Structure 1
């Protein structure tokens, strides 16, 4: 590669799931949605169903995010040129981010000085004016902090100051809400709820300290969510504020806070002893006014814990100065439903007017629900790290809530990725116990005049163990197959069903040669224990649809049957989780411990597997013959876990690297005309001073790279006489451990390539590797290496990169770009477009 060539890297796709925690998601006034994905703060656009970026900065898992202004104050945000985002993590750190609407750029502003000592559980805010906002944070350390943020009119930085710090005793608060008191322009009311089953109200001046006002009793379990409405008019009375609360007691309560007399006419002792105090509710004083709190309504309807309640955002009237607060509440529960509640016009009784999600058997409950700023969409995030979005496509009289596309991805470490054998899709496996397929949906892209839009198009495996490794069977014959290994001693083989093959044709807009009409397996069904997946045959599926009921089934096996179908547009979560499974065709027994690494040769004839090991006997590599799935070899070289294996591109060698700091090289010889495979250990030698995590072959020759925890990448060449692997070059030391490598060929004639290096810090670098022959001695290689580009930190992972994979190992002459996929411990799968200019 010529040094004068430059490289541009463009982010194509990010797939990632939501951290499984309450208060993690926030819908901003700008229309974007924020959520925590492991250590990263992810931003997604609901219109395009794409994750736009991830924000690096947190060192611990992100617990909660909160927009300034959020959907509640969208009516005040028309003139805001910049929006702000607060994020809190499991170590108590809160970070402030700035988003420029005009430039569409993010900036890290600051980490708040007075952090919490334990994980942040909730952040809430109130927008006072265009230049001022108050926000509060609570944590497991039983402290609530109240902050003031002053937003600059010019380009200067905003300033954040801590107004007050409140101790909540021995039981922490888990939810907060702030509101201005009616009739007052300076006093705020803060509601907090948590583990003591009570709602605590505090009032305070905008500049001063908050003091306890009163307690609201009624809930019989932990308070999970609180939200103040803006002032509403009830029965002709103005100056009312409604507070909605939800709890693990499955109930929702609505409290009314009413402006009473001025303080001159108020006697606190007399009020507390009066009958009205016990019937109507407690009274408190703020400034020159007194306020009474009463229970307005008790709302029952959910069958499980209600994790979140939220008022519909205010609707702006003709001009921007006036608005009204709709009396409409969204609740989300672990019973897998979200409900919208509104009072009946005649009786005022709160009733459920919309229920969504009740048919989903995959959601496993919702952790939170949110309104869009205009109130025509609602979003839930679930136990499976997934999002569920519904949009009201009906008119003002008749609601019609339809599911919409959302981004999706893993909700735990993504441990391995592999491209489909022709690069049609990317498959990933994760410790969230799922295998997922991401593909570009070209029909959709062409209709919008856009580039390829990437989506999760199938979930072939939902397992009962954490999945560690993956190998897609290469070669051009037969069906799409893959082998995966998990925290069990068995490798499992899966084969694509007919429904996926047809879906793939829709996604790529071309007919695949391997779409064989004699494929009788339509899809797969999940077993009760979540291990094996049983095939559904086309004929059996038709027969089952003619019957009804579950006659003849064991009670333990009464799980819903999958309905595999051909998808003509990107699927939503409910379809992915149940109806896109692949049947399991074989189990490969032999290893003594949990599977750790897998690879397939380029002809699609051999699969190599390794497992976690602490002895020579257990650390052996097993070779399996594709098709018969017989064990045809057991290769011994290492004494600890073999971390990575890869076949050379001509399939003559198998390279393995291990925790024992060694590399081993085996020659693989296939006897012509027979299925017999001969293998021999060529060399075993010390490669690095620490664990060797990664290796990758040069597509054009018998040279390979290894990467280690010792922060180095070494380039080796196999000697002609097969005596050893000779070290020919060591790249400059990296700042952190090298955890992933992938070598792509650029120019076969000159043996030029590009090596992608993934680091423990999450960063990715591209290095130019030139291995040209010496003019004096053609048997000698002259190695040269140079750093081409280091990816922008906002593009990279925020935790260790687990795997890198080029879409095609060799660049086509007529194409100036290649695609690189990566996966990491931050739960994300990423695809980059690398253009050689």
Structure 2
């Protein structure tokens, strides 16, 4: 396969909620973060806004820790990653093969490196901290275990920090599920405990060292951030004399608390030099757990960035005259902006904050898995928010294109439905999340578009919900993506979720100077502040920020469709938009029915369609809506045929109770230009192609796979007498087969490069409608480039560009 035959146009994935799960490389400006069991690579300051450019796959479980590491100034950066799978992996940038370290006996929680040195440390839920030594030999990195520190009294390390003292000695700070910090000092590469720092009243989530004055051999400062909502600073001072008394105890803002602050000195020796560790300052201001704290020297000024569960990032610096640490800037959300529901209100906190290499930007990761980015103005300390990458944080179960192919919808077990579209700006093009139509209280299983402005989704709540596009989203897609707003349709301005509700309600946007009306003069009827939207809030010239997506980009709910007795398993919409077919999880004939709903009056068409005895796993209408295909766990496929007189009535026309030897997981129709042809994918590791021949559907071709086939889709166009059938496997593999429609022989097989594939099960594949194909001419032959969307259990949505697939 040519390297340019299949390329990645877009990757959408959310970050893992762990304070150590991301790092921003000082050398390359690349940010790497844990995304499920993968490591996402992103350049936040890329002016082309290409978003996530790659996912490194190697771990078998959640990635908790990501850290960049350079053994020396000249060498390339390596990425260290630690996972719940008990391993540390060492990646070289540009190389997908990793060194695997399997010495830990439980989940890896933290890693810290000593820049341009040969050691790093790791902490695990096995209650040990391990010290590793590296050696770069002919461009190959060798890693060996030097020491295992068993923590006494036993606790789980959640954070470690490493720094060098004068000479060959290093200092290590360890903290976690106790309210104390252990300080270790090395002698001949072996660390020993020299002090235990007390003062915090909760678990400690973050530690970080820095030199007080950049470029000097001055004192070391250690910051500790805790779940007790406080940040503490500690000073490591060289010399027999103690440093001047901490100004923290004289800080008037602490009130009576200042009297209880201990300034006990811990003395130790290293490399024949005397040192002391003393408490330096207490930083108050956060209202909830503090997850991360990191240092940066900016213009000869030392600044500290902290991220908290109170939805804020704080930037701290010492006052030049008093030396008291103050909050110089606060980014994120303020209390009055927080909504009253978890869906559209509070983000659930910031799990980490990171400085850019030049401290001209900061990022944070929130509960929704989405990043926020702020950039510092060239002059002063003014910060402005910019858009960043977003994505699902749990398995993506369903994807579908709008009827015209202008945008893509995805839905996931993270209880959200997201809209992805292409931003066209300044001659550039890039994909982003432009709307979050549904934020739900149940895991979402499937989604389908009824029209270009309406979709339906099914969840674990036994009913389906239909949503209409609001004016704010239609205007945004028109303005930024060139997706023309539908004419002749009245759109509500926006939507919100009422308190304790699950149904999105349409609301009208207010002018900026307009005050919400309180009915009956009763203040109890005052609208929820989160439900009040001003028109200026919905008018911007860039992809939405996470705050916009979480609050203002919902779609109002049009209708609920009832009838099923169990969780919705699959749905399909007819190509003319007049019918919805659905099924639910079932273990008996009574519940394994297919229900049809017409979209004019939203009524169910009786009777329901009966054929299967177990859960129907997939439904698909043929291009002309003449047939409806169903496949199920009972290994059976059934083709229902539309009545010639009543377009809403379907009856069993063909069925095969033994279509596969194991359960059938998906079925898909080929375009009608190929005749009555469909493909089925089964757990028996086979894709079967069926065609209508002599009044019955016969299996014309069986394509064998190495693993169970979990998804299948047909390109909706026939070219040069051939079909393009794509299928996905349980391990994330995606393959395209070019099949001749005259004899159903496989002309060509296109295997995707493993480096660009998902690392877990493929749940759904969807070709973009062929009107979006891009012409490509070679000699006297023409081909098109097509886009293929893939949803996977590794929480990613990926969009591939496939070129020249019909060329020999």
Query: Normalising by structure 2, what TM-score?
Result: 0.90
Change (3 A) 1:214 1:632: same
Cα distance in 2 for residues equivalent to 1:812 and 1:177: 52
Structure 1 residue 284: Cα displacement? 1.4
Change (3 A) 1:562 1:753: farther
2:348 to 359, 364, 375: 364
Cα distance in 1 for residues equivalent to 2:262 and 2:355: 35
The question of 1:46 aligning with 2:44 is answered yes
Structure 1 residue 499: Cα displacement? 1.5
CA contact 1:689–1:710 (8 Å) conserved in 2: yes
Report the counterpart of residue 369 of structure 2 in structure 1.
385
Cα distance in 1 for residues equivalent to 2:513 and 2:684: 58
What is the 5 A alignment of 1:609-628? Answer: 609-628=582-601
Report the counterpart of residue 220 of structure 1 in structure 2.
201
Structure 1 residue 748: Cα displacement? 5.1
What is the 5 A alignment of 1:79-478? Answer: 79-80=74-75, 82-99=76-93, 105-114=94-103, 116-127=104-115, 129=116, 132-152=117-137, 154=138, 156-169=139-152, 170-181=154-165, 184-205=166-187, 207-232=188-213, 239-261=218-240, 279-313=263-297, 326-359=301-334, 361=338, 362-395=346-379, 398-442=380-424, 444=425, 447=426, 449-450=427-428, 452-474=429-451
The question of 1:546 aligning with 2:515 is answered yes
Cα distance in 2 for residues equivalent to 1:90 and 1:681: 50
Change (3 A) 1:47 1:613: same
**Bigger Cα displacement from structure 2, 685-694 vs 820-829:** 685-694
2:542 to 532, 555, 569: 569
Report the counterpart of residue 822 of structure 1 in structure 2.
790
Unmatched tracts of structure 2, length 5 or more: 242-260, 339-345, 777-783
Report the counterpart of residue 677 of structure 1 in structure 2.
649
Cα distance in 2 for residues equivalent to 1:189 and 1:68: 18
CA contact 1:662–1:684 (8 Å) conserved in 2: yes
The question of 1:739 aligning with 2:739 is answered no
Structure 1 residue 568: Cα displacement? 2.8
Change (3 A) 1:749 1:57: closer
SS at match of 1:728: strand
Cα distance in 2 for residues equivalent to 1:509 and 1:717: 39
Change (3 A) 1:559 1:739: farther
1:560-618 CA-to-partner distances (Å, cap 9, x unmatched) read 11526244321110111111111001000100011110111111111100111111111
Change (3 A) 1:6 1:380: closer
Cα distance in 2 for residues equivalent to 1:549 and 1:163: 69
**Bigger Cα displacement from structure 2, 652-661 vs 810-819:** 810-819
Report the counterpart of residue 68 of structure 1 in structure 2.
69
Cα distance in 2 for residues equivalent to 1:5 and 1:21: 38
Cα distance in 2 for residues equivalent to 1:715 and 1:177: 58
The question of 1:801 aligning with 2:754 is answered no
The question of 1:703 aligning with 2:677 is answered yes
Unmatched tracts of structure 1, length 5 or more: 100-104, 263-276, 316-323, 773-781
Report the counterpart of residue 731 of structure 2 in structure 1.
761
What is the 5 A alignment of 1:482-521? Answer: 482-509=455-482, 511-512=484-485, 514-516=486-488, 519-521=490-492
Report the counterpart of residue 560 of structure 1 in structure 2.
530
SS at match of 1:747: coil
Change (3 A) 1:554 1:625: farther
The question of 1:785 aligning with 2:746 is answered yes
Change (3 A) 1:749 1:415: same
SS at match of 1:580: coil
SS at match of 1:783: coil
Cα distance in 2 for residues equivalent to 1:594 and 1:529: 21
Q: How many residues align?
A: 758
Report the counterpart of residue 59 of structure 1 in structure 2.
60
Change (3 A) 1:736 1:554: farther
SS at match of 2:550: helix
Cα distance in 1 for residues equivalent to 2:545 and 2:772: 34
Report the counterpart of residue 619 of structure 2 in structure 1.
645
Report the counterpart of residue 605 of structure 1 in structure 2.
578
1:773-817 CA-to-partner distances (Å, cap 9, x unmatched) read xxxxxxxxx220155321112211011111100001578694521
Cα distance in 2 for residues equivalent to 1:617 and 1:556: 48
Change (3 A) 1:441 1:203: same
Change (3 A) 1:544 1:708: farther
**Bigger Cα displacement from structure 2, 217-226 vs 284-293:** 284-293
Cα distance in 2 for residues equivalent to 1:542 and 1:258: 58
Change (3 A) 1:791 1:519: same
1:313-335 CA-to-partner distances (Å, cap 9, x unmatched) read 577xxxxxxxx6x4211010000
Structure 1 residue 88: Cα displacement? 0.9
SS at match of 1:725: strand
Structure 1 residue 511: Cα displacement? 3.3
Change (3 A) 1:530 1:835: farther
Cα distance in 2 for residues equivalent to 1:506 and 1:369: 32
Change (3 A) 1:283 1:663: same
The question of 1:26 aligning with 2:23 is answered yes
Cα distance in 2 for residues equivalent to 1:331 and 1:412: 27
CA contact 1:520–1:537 (8 Å) conserved in 2: no
